[in-house]
Each structure stands twice: as C-alpha cells, then as structure tokens.
Structure 1
Amino acid sequence: MAGPRAERRVYFEDVQMHAALETPGMTLTETHAAMFTALTGSRPADPGAIPDLIPLCLSSGLGWRVPQAPLVVLAFMGFEWRFLKPARVGDTIHSVSTTVAKRSLKDGGVVVEERRILNQHGDLVQSGRLTLLVAKRPAA
C-alpha cells in the first residue's frame, strides 16, 4: 500500500534553486564491505576501509528516507564525483544535496544537484554533481 509520500511527486517546475535536502545517517559496517566484495570481487587494501563506491550508492538510497516527495526523474544524465577522504567501518555518513542549476526543456528540464557526503565528525568524505532529466508537470 502506497503512503502519502509515494503519491506526491516533485516535477521540474517545483524544483527550488539552492534548496538543500539532508538525509538521515547510516553507520557503515563490515557487512557493507563484505557484500560489496561478494558482488565485485574487489576489496580495499586497508581492512578497515569501506570501498569508495559504497558511500556514493548509499547516499542515493538514503534520499528515499526523507519526508520530501521524490523528483520525477526521467533519466540520469551523468555525474562528476570526487573521493576526498576514506570512509571507515563504524563511520556514520549522511548526505546534503543542493540544487545548483536548472534549465527548462520542452517536456522536462535538466537539474544539477550538488551532493556532499559527510561523516559523523562533519568531515567531507565525497562530493560531486549529479545531472538529472526531470519531468515537467503533466497538463491537466
């Protein structure tokens, strides 16, 4: 059964410039690292380190744990990403996303989101920009 959040959607017209969205935190565990290793066969050289892609992936999933309705994303157009500081087992990460650009197209629009992933100390672990194609509101 879908709740009220699932019934709401954020269209291109609703996107506010410089609006920030902060996710709740998630503590990184050895299980996260083990699952990544099982899927990819890749493991960090440092046994206490978390593979770099895990915080990036989790930041997207954590976006579904906020009360705001989701964007109606038609396509993921690309991203630029920086890995700034290693995440470690036991770190609690969260992300802050801010809309930094938007450009209208015929049936949608391009939205550029700057995302920062921080640890429990407020240290910047990763950051970058995601470019999304977002739907315009359907005609009534």
Structure 2
Amino acid sequence: MIVEHYFEDYAVGSERRSFGRTITETDFVVHAGHTGDFFPHHMDAEWCATQDFGQRIAHGTMVFAIGIGLTATTINPHAMSYGYDRLRFLKPVHIGDTLTTITRIAEKRDHPKRAGHGIVVEAVEMVNQRAEAVLVCEHLYLVTRRPAG
C-alpha cells in the first residue's frame, strides 16, 4: 500500500502494531546460512541443553531483521530509512516464540544539512507472546518536507 506522508504529517506519539510472526527452526537454519553464524548457541540443541539458557537462542540479527520486516507494510515515496540507533537485545528469543513489533513516533527534528527534509525518529519495540520486550531500537527516517504553496 502506498501512503504519502510528508514530514509535517507525522504526529509524535502515533503508534502502530504489526501482526505476529512465530519463529521456526527453519528461520534459524536459513539465517545461519545467510550470515555464516553457526555458533552452537543457535544451532546445537544438545549443547544448549547443558547451558543455563537450556535451548537454542535466535540470532540477534535475525530477530532484528524479522521484527523490522513486520513493519514493512506501506511504501511512502517521501521517506526513506536513514538508519537505526540504540539497538538493544533485551531477552532471548527461542524457536516457537511469536514476535510482534510496536512502533511509536518519538521525535521529529530538522535535518542539520538538508532544509527540504526532516528526520522522524520511530521508537521500535519487539515483544514476544508474553508481551515481554525482546529488542528495542530507534528507526530514523529521512522525510521530505511538504512543498510550499
């Protein structure tokens, strides 16, 4: 879906919530193949059973990628991702956990060098099926200002 929002159209405090996505063993295997990260924490169920955490832990980069992907429901031709700040992994994610991503417009500010653009900061929180936050970050958007006239 295409939604046209200029910088001025974003409202601080507005929220959206994604649908849920259950993490599978296939997710672990595919992500390990893409990244080359085959550490036993992610791939060796028997070894993990001997550790304090007891079971395989999802790759943090996978949790981030899936959680951000859940928010990709619209295309705004006036905005583009400018990056991510303050990324933190708060709790482990395991096979069978269901993730939902909640976003809230936290801030709007001028771009220091581009008068025709602003920066919109979206607070991102990924939660599991128990409503426990597993990952948080800030998503920065570079957004065109509404043309004068």
Report the TM range for the smaller structure's normalisation. 0.7 to 0.9
What SS does the aligned partner of 1:64 have? coil
Whole-Å separation in 1 of the counterparts to 2:68 and 2:133: 16
CA contact under 8 A between 1:44 and 1:50: conserved in structure 2? no
| 1:49 to 2:53 alignment | no
Task: Structure 1 unaligned segments of length 5 or more: list them.
Answer: none
What SS does the aligned partner of 2:95 have? coil
Whole-Å separation in 1 of the counterparts to 2:146 and 2:39: 44
1:17 — aligned with what?
12
Of residues 40-49 and 100-109 in structure 1, the stretch that sits farther from structure 2 once superposed is 40-49
What are the equivalent positions in structure 2 for 1:28-67 lying under 5 Å apart? 28-46=23-41, 47=45, 48-65=56-73
What SS does the aligned partner of 2:5 have? coil
Q: How many residues are paired up? A: 132
What SS does the aligned partner of 2:92 have? coil
Shift of 1:45: 2.7
Whole-Å separation in 2 of the counterparts to 1:16 and 1:30: 39
TM-score w.r.t. the length of structure 2 is 0.79
TM-score w.r.t. the length of structure 1 is 0.84
Whole-Å separation in 2 of the counterparts to 1:101 and 1:86: 28
* Identity in percent: 27
Whole-Å separation in 2 of the counterparts to 1:45 and 1:84: 20
CA contact under 8 A between 1:80 and 1:130: conserved in structure 2? no
Whole-Å separation in 2 of the counterparts to 1:92 and 1:75: 25
Of residues 96-105 and 24-33 in structure 1, the stretch that sits farther from structure 2 once superposed is 96-105
C-alpha RMSD of matched pairs (Å): 1.9
Deviation string, structure 1 residues 39-58 (Cα, Å, up to 9, x no partner) = 11103433422111112111
Shift of 1:17: 0.3
CA contact under 8 A between 2:7 and 2:143: conserved in structure 1? yes
| 1:85 to 2:80 alignment | no
Task: Structure 2 unaligned segments of length 5 or more: list them.
Answer: 46-55
1:73 — aligned with what?
79
Distance verdict in 2 for CA 1:132–1:31, change over 3 Å: same
What SS does the aligned partner of 1:89 have? coil
Shift of 1:64: 2.4
| 1:110 to 2:148 alignment | no
Distance verdict in 2 for CA 1:38–1:77, change over 3 Å: closer
Whole-Å separation in 2 of the counterparts to 1:24 and 1:107: 34
